[in-house]
Structure 1
Amino acid sequence: MKRLFLLFAVLVFASCKTKQAAVTSVNAAPTDKQAQEIVNHHLASSPAFKTLSGNLQVTFDDGKNQQSLPFSFRMEKDKVIWISAPLGIAKMMATPEKVQYYNRLDSTFFDGDFSYLSTLLGVEVGFNELQNLLLGNALYPFPSTPQQGYIHLLPESNQRYNLKIEDSTPIQVRYSLLPDSYRVETTEVRHIGSSQKAVATYTYQQVQDILLPLTLLITASQGDDSTQIGMELKGVSLDKDLSFPFKIPSGLKEITLK
């Protein structure tokens, strides 16, 4: 159970660099005009809604252990991400300011900011990265000046638009975008000079007039070791009044950094 909740802190992108992850427009990308147009189409395709709710089935497989659990999932865009296991056995709520989590199965809880998860994972993790990952947005903002990095338009494959993002860090990010919707089909994050790599692959569903992820398969690998986490989102409702109940039960042990 704890492993699955840590997923929502972008566990599989532990090899990624520290970046701010707001979705912003591109004014003067240091690349050719076609690449800039593709980037702007992608940013314009970001799902527009106020609230979202649905049922989330999450699977975990690291080659040694397999696990599958259902969750209730709610989001108020840019404000709250909330998940709950059946009967409230475990819950997590994330806001831009903090993360709260409890698990009755192992009698633990956490109530603090993202610095705990950043230390745990070895990389700074924020609310925006988590939201972008769950919605099928580009994980990081695109560079808009040469000082921030470069956008390379790669040859098309299977009619997908392929972009490679490079900057001064040892991390390389690639996106494959669908030709009609400009939504992300795959995100690949690779640590140059090592065998660390994470790939997120999406399929989509249309809910009202927007595209939202139907499935998300994340594969994180290092050398011969590989972990897969799958998610399937069903029963989606948009823009309804939602509550985000969260209260840490008494008698649980707080998770603290050592």
Structure 2
Amino acid sequence: MKIPVLILLAALFLGSCKAKKAVETDSAADSLAMNLPKDLSKPMNADLVFYENVLLPPQFEQVKISSKLSVETDKTYLPTLDATIYIENNQKVWMNLTAFFINVARGIATPNGIKAFNRADKTYIDSDFDYLNSLLNTNFINYKSLEKLLMGRTFIRISSREFMLTKTTSGYKMASVINQKMESNGSVREYQVELHYANNYDLIQVVMQDTQSADALEVRYDNWENFRNYRLPKNVKIIIKGAKAGQIMLENTKFDDSKINTPFSVPGSYKKIEI
């Protein structure tokens, strides 16, 4: 089974350690203080409840996700593979891909970078995350946002000073009222942003449109379920538009919080892909 390693990496790691403006919601107290709503036409306490629910990350040590992964691009179709995703809070995201119980690829992301190998063509990658932002037509994703994206949490910075919160019949909408500037290694891009939440604050959709190009990233979540003291989405769909186009789909079939071993070593005969 031929799996281009860079397409695999797009599925494995949507992250960038060097994005200057990205997720800034790890500290609950600081985040809520920074994002207090200013719109006094709506009840202040109602807005505070919203921000508390969408910004505070779930408290967990680790979570193991059994999933089905499929990837489509305008040039490549990756048949559905069995995936094990293991997230250790603030430490690592490890993924193992199998087909018919045979390991075909493995990868690991930490705040220091990413590593992955592909058994099909005996190649591997050892890099920081800037290239993956280019692959995804973005420049704003960081390591922490990878955790939040996979777990269905708000993975970009939102602020009442720069977003408008609207109550809808189906839930809530956060829309940027000014373009969101994202900086990475001297590169600046601006995005129009919309986030949609259900009435119970489950994240439903994130749309980020580059204001100067057709590049856009859309993430959709569906079929949420309770797990321990928080909720997780069973379906995650990542849609890449613009200069590069494709879809990454995760169908999560089981959640577990037991610790597992996360081995990673590249065979000596594999060839490194330089990027």
What is the TM-score of this pair, normalised by structure 1?
0.83
Q: What is the match of residue 254 of structure 1?
A: 272
Partners of 1:108 and 1:95 in 2: how far apart?
Answer: 20
Kindly indicate whether the alpha-carbon contact (under 8 Å) linking 1:18 and 1:123 is maintained by their aligned counterparts in 2.
Answer: no
How far is 1:119 from its partner? 5.6
Query: Residue 97 and residue 20 in structure 1: after superposition, are their counterparts in 2 closer, same or farther (change >3 A)?
Result: same
Query: Residue 226 and residue 254 in structure 1: after superposition, are their counterparts in 2 closer, same or farther (change >3 A)?
Result: closer
User: Which AA in structure 1 matches 2:77?
Assistant: Q
1:27 matched to 2:33? yes
Q: What is the match of residue 143 of structure 1?
A: 159
1:96 matched to 2:116? no
Kindly indicate whether the alpha-carbon contact (under 8 Å) linking 1:173 and 1:188 is maintained by their aligned counterparts in 2.
Answer: yes
How far is 1:206 from its partner? 1.6
SS at match of 2:32: coil
**Which segment is superposed worse, 46-55 or 71-80?**
46-55
| Number of equivalences | 244
1:41 matched to 2:41? no
Kindly indicate whether the alpha-carbon contact (under 8 Å) linking 2:165 and 2:173 is maintained by their aligned counterparts in 1.
Answer: yes
Q: What is the match of residue 249 of structure 2?
A: 230
Partners of 1:100 and 1:65 in 2: how far apart?
Answer: 22
Kindly indicate whether the alpha-carbon contact (under 8 Å) linking 2:225 and 2:234 is maintained by their aligned counterparts in 1.
Answer: yes
Structure 1 unaligned residues grouped into runs of 5+ = none
How far is 1:116 from its partner? 4.3
What is the TM-score of this pair, normalised by structure 2?
0.78
Kindly indicate whether the alpha-carbon contact (under 8 Å) linking 2:180 and 2:192 is maintained by their aligned counterparts in 1.
Answer: no
How far is 1:124 from its partner? 5.4
Residue 165 (structure 2) aligned to one of 153, 159, 167? 153
Partners of 1:119 and 1:198 in 2: how far apart?
Answer: 12
1:217 matched to 2:237? yes
Structure 2 unaligned residues grouped into runs of 5+ = 182-189
SS at match of 1:10: coil
- In percent, how many aligned pairs have the same letter? 20
**Which segment is superposed worse, 160-169 or 119-128?**
119-128
Query: Residue 114 and residue 64 in structure 1: after superposition, are their counterparts in 2 closer, same or farther (change >3 A)?
Result: closer
Per-residue Cα deviation, 1:17-67 (whole angstroms, up to 9, x for no partner): 8523242422143642454542222123x3321111131211122355432
